[in-house]
Amino acid sequence: MNIQQLRYVRETVRQNLNLTEAANRLFTSQPGVSKQIREFELELGIEIFVRRGKRFVAVTEPGKAVVKIIERILLEVDNLRQVGQEFKEERSGVLTIATTHTQARYSLPKVVTEFKRRYPGVQLHLHQGSPPHVAEMTVEGEADIAIATESLDRYPRLLALPAYSWSHCVVVPLNHPLAKRTSLTLEDLVSQPIVTYDPTFTGRSRIDQAFAAKGLKPEIALSAIDSDVIKSYVELGLGIGIIASMAFDAERDKGLVRLEAGHLFHSNTTRVAIKRGAHLRGFAYEFIELFSAPLTRAAIEKALVGEGEQYEL
């Protein structure tokens, strides 16, 4: 039994039992992966996978228990490496953040700038994706920290803590009939074509819920994952925009008028998530605190042991 065999089993499961894909991810050959897994099964005296010819088609019941143990073992192996790096090279290393476009574009620039000033020796990798993809990356150990508004609190293997709350606003062209309105209603909005976020991004569910609660069916002229794209099409006259308040910049968006909409839609909470059981370097905790001051290392560690489950902003 060796660590390599454990990694082969884990990657095969992660790649939906596709040995070729697992081998590609592990930079080895498919026959080599198959052979190592078979030797591991023989040593354990059980079959981890159900086979149909040379293909794996399912995980056996004892295999499911083995895979869970393998996940714990390999997590601790990674933790050992992190501890070693923590004491060997305290101010250097790699930190990977998985987040959405809105967070990367509007919430993180100042945080990243200050972090790089404090830790010039740390390689900072920023990966953007949908909230479910961001969560999966962190669960799979491909990212150290996840930042998003949706999905993170739905993954039991993640500890997701609230970072800050925000609301939506409406943006319209300067000459639009709604531009001079001091207070909007949902009926005002539903009378116009709307440009807003994709259903899985940036609080879109809150927007849909608000209209549905009043029995209104808005015309969604365009949906996008990028606030800048939404604003561009609003400027072109495609419709009125509903965006995150943080995404409006008075200096850059001079062709648009911002109208408050916090009273129309429930507020949203952006969360920071880390994988339960994973060892975080000291600079990772500092990055989180730069993003949200209440999320100190002490607060996060308290939440990890179950004392902070009712943590509120």
Asked whether residue 96 falls in the same domain as residue 141, the answer is yes
Chain-centroid distance of CA 52 in Å reads: 36
Phi first, then psi: give them for residue 214, nearest 5 degrees: -100, 5
User: What does DSSP say about strands 256-260 and 268-275: parallel, antiparallel, or unpaired?
Assistant: unpaired
The pLDDT of residue 310 is above 60: no
Query: Sign of torsion, CA 104 105 111 116?
Result: positive
The pLDDT of residue 70 is above 50: yes
Asked whether residue 73 falls in the same domain as residue 119, the answer is no
Residue 215: inside a domain: yes
Asked whether residue 276 falls in the same domain as residue 160, the answer is yes
Largest pairwise CA distance in the chain: 75
Asked whether residue 156 falls in the same domain as residue 207, the answer is no
Distance CA(63)–CA(69), nearest Å, equals 10
Residue 54: inside a domain: yes
Q: What is the pLDDT of residues 93-133, one digit of tens each?
A: 899 999 999 999 999 999 999 999 999 999 999 999 999 99
> Do the beta carbons of residue 134 and residue 148 sit within 8 Å?
yes
Asked whether residue 250 falls in the same domain as residue 174, the answer is yes
Of the two residues 85 and 220, the one the predictor is more confident about is 220
CATH code for the domain of 276: 3.40.190.10
Which pLDDT value is given to residue 307?
52
Asked whether residue 192 falls in the same domain as residue 156, the answer is no
> How large is the average pLDDT for residues 57-78?
88
Distance CA(217)–CA(123), nearest Å, equals 47
The pLDDT of residue 313 is above 70: no
User: What does DSSP say about strands 240-244 and 193-197: parallel, antiparallel, or unpaired?
Assistant: parallel
Distance CA(69)–CA(48), nearest Å, equals 12
Residue 312: inside a domain: no
Asked whether residue 159 falls in the same domain as residue 276, the answer is yes
DSSP symbols for 139-163: HTTS-SEEEESSSGGG-TTEEEEEE
Domain boundary among 50, 85, 120: 85
The pLDDT of residue 87 is above 80: no
Asked whether residue 129 falls in the same domain as residue 143, the answer is yes
In which element (H, E) is residue 122 found?
strand 122-128
Asked whether residue 39 falls in the same domain as residue 119, the answer is no
Asked whether residue 95 falls in the same domain as residue 15, the answer is no
Domain boundary among 68, 85, 102: 85
Q: What is the pLDDT of residues 13-39, one digit of tens each?
A: 989 999 999 999 899 998 999 999 999
CATH code for the domain of 63: 1.10.10.10
DSSP symbols for 210-224: HHHHTT---EEEEEE
Asked whether residue 159 falls in the same domain as residue 174, the answer is no
Which pLDDT value is given to residue 254?
94
Amino acid type, 261: A
Range of the domain at 292: 91-164+269-304
Residue 311: inside a domain: no
Asked whether residue 117 falls in the same domain as residue 58, the answer is no
Q: What is the pLDDT of residues 162-220, one digit of tens each?
A: 999 999 999 999 999 999 998 999 999 999 999 999 998 888 999 999 999 999 999 99
